[in-house]
Chains A and B, each alone.
Chain A
Amino acid sequence: MHELGIVFYIIRDVKQAAEENGVSRVSALVMNIGEVSTVVPEYLIDCWRWAADKEDLLRGSELRINTIPAVTFCETCGKEYETVPNGKTCPFCGSGNTWLLRGNEVEIKEIEVPS
C-alpha cells in the first residue's frame, strides 16, 4: 500500500502543470498506469479522493485510469509476449533473457479543465 505516497507526487506535478498553463481549477485527471507498475488502481482512486479534496485546485476532481497492458520482449527468440501470465520466462522458447517493453508506467496523461 503505497498509493497515498504516489498521490502526493501526482498532486505536486499537476499543481506545477496547472501553474504553467494558467489553470485555477482541474475537473479531471487521466493517468496511464502499467499493469505491472505495482500501483493498484482502486487504491489510487481512494487515496486521490482523500488528498485531492484538500486542495482548492483539485477539489471534486475525478481520477480516471488508463491501464497499459504489460508486454515483455525476449532477447533469445525476438518475440514479444504478455507479461502477466508468463512473467520473466518466454512462453515461446523458455528463455529467461527477457525485459519489459511496457507496463511499468505511472504517468499523468492529461488533465481536464472547465472551459
Chain B
Amino acid sequence: MDEVKVIEIKKSIFAENDKDADALRKELKDRGVYLLNLMSSPGSGKTTTLIKTINLLKDKLRIAVMEADIDSDVDAVKIKDATGIKSIQLHTGGMCHLDAEMTRQGLDGLVLQDCDLVVLENVGNLVCPAEFDTGSCRNAMILSVPEGDDKPLKYPLMFSVCDVVIINKTDVLPYFDFDMEKCREYIRMRNPHARVFPICARTGEGVDAFAEWLLAEVRSWKQ
C-alpha cells in the first residue's frame, strides 16, 4: 500500500460563506441598504405577500426585489407588473438555495444608491436556505395555513433562524385543522424572539402590521 500524508484542515464548509455574509452585511450597513431574506415553501404566497407589502411601502421607501428561482422569470415579471418597482431574477442553476456570494452577484445587478430596501425572495424550500447566511439584515419566512401548524416541529432550523414568521392564507382557516395558538407555541419553542404576523395576502388583511414592522426596521438600520 502507498504511504499517505495526512493534512489536517478542520474547517466548516459554512465558514467561507459566513465570512462573505458578514462582509456583505457590513457593506450594506455602510451604504444604508436594508436586505430582507424572505423564505418559505413553494406556493406559500411569497410573491403575493411581497406585492401587497410593496404597494403599502413604495411611497415611503425606495424598494427593489431579487427573485431567486431554479428557473423562469415569472415572479420577477409579476412583481414588476403589479408594483412598478425594479425587480430582477436570479437563477441558481439547480442549486436549492442562495449563498452570500450569489446574493452579492444579484445586488451587483441593482443600483444600490437608489435603494432603501432590497427584498431577496429565496428559493422555495424550508431546508437548505436556512443553512446559508445570505448576508441579509433579517430573515423572514412565510408559513401558509394549508401547510399545517406543525411545520416548526418538522423544520426546526428554518424557524430558529427567522426573526419573523408570517402566517399567510388566514382566510382559509375555517377549512383546515390549523391551530393558530399551537402554531405560535411551536414557533416559540424554536425561537422565543420570533415575531409572528398572521395575514391574508389575497385580501391584504394583516399585511399593514408587517409593513409597519419592516418600515421601522429599515429606518433604524439607516441611522
- What is the interface of chain A, defined by CB distance below 8 A to chain B? 1-2, 5-6, 8-10, 12-14, 17, 21, 23, 27-28, 38, 88, 96, 105-115
The residue in chain A whose Cβ has the minimal distance to the Cβ of B12 is: A107
The residue in chain A whose Cβ has the minimal distance to the Cβ of B188 is: A96
The residue in chain B whose Cβ has the minimal distance to the Cβ of A9 is: B13
Chain B window 1-32, contacts with chain A (Cβ cutoff 8 Å), 1 for yes, 0 for no: 01111111111111011000000000000000
Please state if B5 and A106 are interface contacts (CB–CB under 8 Å). Answer: no
Q: What CA separation (Å) do A21 and B6 show in the bound complex?
A: 11
Q: What CA separation (Å) do A2 and B70 show in the bound complex?
A: 13
Q: What CA separation (Å) do A5 and B13 show in the bound complex?
A: 11
Is B194 on the interface with A (CB-CB < 8 A)?
Answer: no
| From B2, B3, B10, B131, contact of A110 by CB (8 A) | B10
If the complex has contacts A2-B96, A38-B157, are A112 and B5 also in contact, measured as CB distance less than 8 A? yes
Give the total of B residues in contact with A, Cβ under 8 Å.
Answer: 25
Chain B proximity of A102: nearest CB distance (Å): 12
Q: What CA separation (Å) do A33 and B140 show in the bound complex?
A: 28
Q: Apart from A2-B97, A114-B2, what are 7 other A-B pairs with CB-CB below 8 Å? A: A13-B13, A17-B7, A17-B11, A27-B2, A112-B5, A113-B5, A115-B3
Q: What CA separation (Å) do A13 and B95 show in the bound complex?
A: 18
Q: What CA separation (Å) do A38 and B125 show in the bound complex?
A: 14
| List of B residues within 8 angstroms of A88 by Cβ | 156, 189-190
| From A10, A23, A38, A111, contact of B127 by CB (8 A) | A38
| From A12, A106, A111, contact of B16 by CB (8 A) | A12
Is B128 on the interface with A (CB-CB < 8 A)?
Answer: yes
| List of A residues within 8 angstroms of B97 by Cβ | 2, 5
| List of B residues within 8 angstroms of A12 by Cβ | 16
The residue in chain A whose Cβ has the minimal distance to the Cβ of B16 is: A13
| List of A residues within 8 angstroms of B8 by Cβ | 109-110
Chain A proximity of B39: nearest CB distance (Å): 14
| List of B residues within 8 angstroms of A28 by Cβ | 4
Q: What CA separation (Å) do A111 and B7 show in the bound complex?
A: 5
